[in-house]
Amino acid sequence: MIARMGRIGDALSRMRAHDASDGSAGTLPRLDVVAEALGLPEERVAMMVAQVRKNGLDEAQIAPMMQMASSKGLDPELIMQMLTGMGASRARVAELMRAQGILSDEEASRYIDEDERLQTERLAEERRRKRRERLRKALVIAFWILVWQGLDLAMNNRLVLAGPIRVMQALAEGIVEPGFWLSCSASFARIAAGFLLSFFVGISLALLSHHARIVRDFVEPVISLLRTIPVVSIIIMLLIWVGNQMLTVYLSFLIVLPIIYTNMLAGLENVDPRMLEMARCYRLGWWRTFMYVYRPAFMPFLKSSCRLSLGMSWKAGIMAEVLATPKPSIGKEMAQARTFLATPDLFAWTVVVMILSWGFEKAFMALLDALGRPLGSLLGVRDEKEAKVR
C-alpha cells in the first residue's frame, strides 16, 4: 500500500509538471495515470472512484492510509489531489487530514475556506446561468408575441386574426362571467376522467398481457384497431352510441389507451431477467419484486407515454366538444365563437385550453415523479436515521 502511495505521488508530480508546462496547472489526476501508478486496471480504479463518489469517504478506511502516506513523506497536497480526484470534496479531505494531524488547523481552514469559496462561485454561476436562460426564453416569447401583434395591426381585420391585446381583452371579459368557469370545469372533468380511465385500464391490461399470453392475444387486435381508426370515425360512432355529453370521456379514453398500453407493456418487457432471478433467489414477495424490479424498468416508458398522451387527450377532447357541443363545455363556446365569427373569443378559449392542458400535465407528471421515487416505508425499509439509532 505504501509503495503504491509513493507511486501515486510520483505520478501526480509528473502530471503537475506536465500541467504546468502546458498551462493547465491545478487539474485533477487522470484515471489512466492513477491506474498506472497503482498498478491496477483502469476498470478497478474506476470502481474505486465510483464507490467513493457514491458513499463518500469512510474515515475508518481512509485515515490509516493517510497516516502511512504521511509517515513516508508524501506531500499533503498530493494526498489532497488524489482524494479530490476520486470525487471527494476538498473540505471533507481537509477535515480528515486535520483529524489525523497531517494538516494544521490553519492549513485545513485554508482548504475549507477555499472549497466554500469555490462552491459559492459555482452556485452563483449556476444562478446566473438560470437567469440568462429564463431571460432568453422570455425574449423569444416576447418576440413572437410582437410578431403576432404586428400581423394583427398589419391585417387590421378582427374577423381573420385577433392580436394578443384583443385576445386578452376577450379573456378578461369572459373570466368575470359564471359560465366561463362552469365550461372550464366541465371540460376539464370530462377530459381528465377519460385520461385517468385510460391510464388505469392501460396499465392493468399491460400487466395482464405481460403475465398471460392468452390475454395479449385478445387485447392486441383491439389496440391495433384503435391505432388505425380515424379519429373522426370514432367521434361519429360515439355520437351514435353514447350521445354528446359523454363523447369527450370515451374519445379521450380510446385515443390514449393504445399509447399507455403499448409503452407500459414495453417497459415490463424491458425488465432484466437477471434482476428477476435475483429477486427469486432472495425470495422477495410479489409486492417488493414489483416495486424494486419492475417499477424502475417501466417508469421511464410510462412517463414518456403520459407526457405524449396528456396533450393528445386535450386535443381530441376539445375537438370532440366542438363537433358535439355538449353543455356546458369549452368546445361549445369555441363552436359558438366560430359561428358568430368572434375571432378574439376563439383565440381566448384556445389560450384557456393551453393553460388547462399545461397545468394538468404539470400536476400529473409531478404526481408520477413522486410515485417513481423510493417508497421505503411501504416496502418495510427503515429510514436511514432510524436504522442508525437502532
Do 75 and 194 have their domain in common?
no
Distances (CA, A) of 185 to 95, 97, 156, 198, 336: 58, 63, 34, 20, 18
Instruction: Report yes or no: 88 and 48 within 8 Å, Cβ to Cβ.
Output: no
Final residue before a domain boundary, out of 58, 90, 117: 117
In a domain, 132, yes or no: no
Same domain, 113 and 49: yes
Please tell me the pTM assigned to this model: 0.67
Same structural domain for residues 75 and 201? no
pLDDT for 389 equals: 39
* 264 burial via Cβ count (<10 Å: 0-12, 13-18, 19+): buried
Residue 74 shares a structural domain with residue 193: no
**Pair 58, 181 in one domain:** no
Same domain flag for 81 and 177: no
Q: What is the pLDDT of residue 119?
A: 82
Number of domains observed in the structure of the chain: 2
174 lies in the same domain as 111: no
pLDDT computed for residue 114 by the predictor? 80
**96 and 173, same domain (yes or no):** no
The pLDDT score that the predictor gives to residue 51 is 62
Query: Do both 110 and 194 map to the same domain?
Result: no
> Is 196 inside a domain boundary?
yes
- Residue in 337, 334, 367 with CA at minimum distance from that of residue 352: 334
Look at residue 113 in the predicted model and tell me its pLDDT. Answer: 80
- Answer whether residue 389 is part of any domain: no
73 and 193 together in one domain: no
User: Does some domain include residue 381?
Assistant: no
Assess if residue 388 is contained within a domain. no
Residue 66 near residue 102 (C-beta atoms within 8 A): yes
**Residue-number span of the structural domain to which 71 is assigned:** 1-13+27-117
Tell me: do 85 and 220 sit in the same domain.
no
Q: What's the distance, CA 89 to chain centroid? A: 27
Cβ contacts of 366 within 8 Å, gap of 6 or more: none
Task: Give the number of other CB atoms < 10 A from CB of residue 256.
Answer: 29
Three-state secondary structure of the chain = CHHHHHHHHHHHHHHHHHHHHCCCCCCCCCHHHHHHHHCCCHHHHHHHHHHHHHHCCCHHHHHHHHHHHHHCCCCHHHHHHHHHHCCCCHHHHHHHHHHCCCCCHHHHHHHHHHHHHHHHHHHHHHHHHHHHHHHHHHHHHHHHHHHHHHHHHHHCCCCCCCCHHHHHHHHHHHHCCHHHHHHHHHHHHHHHHHHHHHHHHHHHHHHHHHHCHHHHHHHHHHHHHHHHCCHHHHHHHHHHHHCCCCHHHHHHHHHHHHHHHHHHHHHHHCCCHHHHHHHHHCCCCHHHHHHHHHHHHHHHHHHHHHHHHHHHHHHHHHHHHHHHCCCCCHHHHHHHHHHCCCHHHHHHHHHHHHHHHHHHHHHHHHHHHHHHCCCHHHHCCCCHHHHHHC
Predicted pLDDT of residue 99? 74
- Check residue 12 and give its pLDDT: 45
Answer yes or no: is 58 within a domain.
yes
- Residue 377: what pLDDT? 42
Q: What is the predicted pLDDT for the residue at 19?
A: 43
**Structural domain includes residue 387:** no
Residue 156 lies in a domain: no
Over the chain (390 residues), what is each successive 10-residue block's mean pLDDT?
48 45 44 55 64 60 62 66 66 74 76 81 90 94 93 84 89 89 93 94 93 90 90 88 89 93 91 83 82 86 91 91 90 90 90 94 91 57 40
Output the CA angle 365-268-383, nearest 5 degrees. 60
Residues 90 and 176 in one domain: no
Give the domain CATH number at 210.
1.10.3720.10
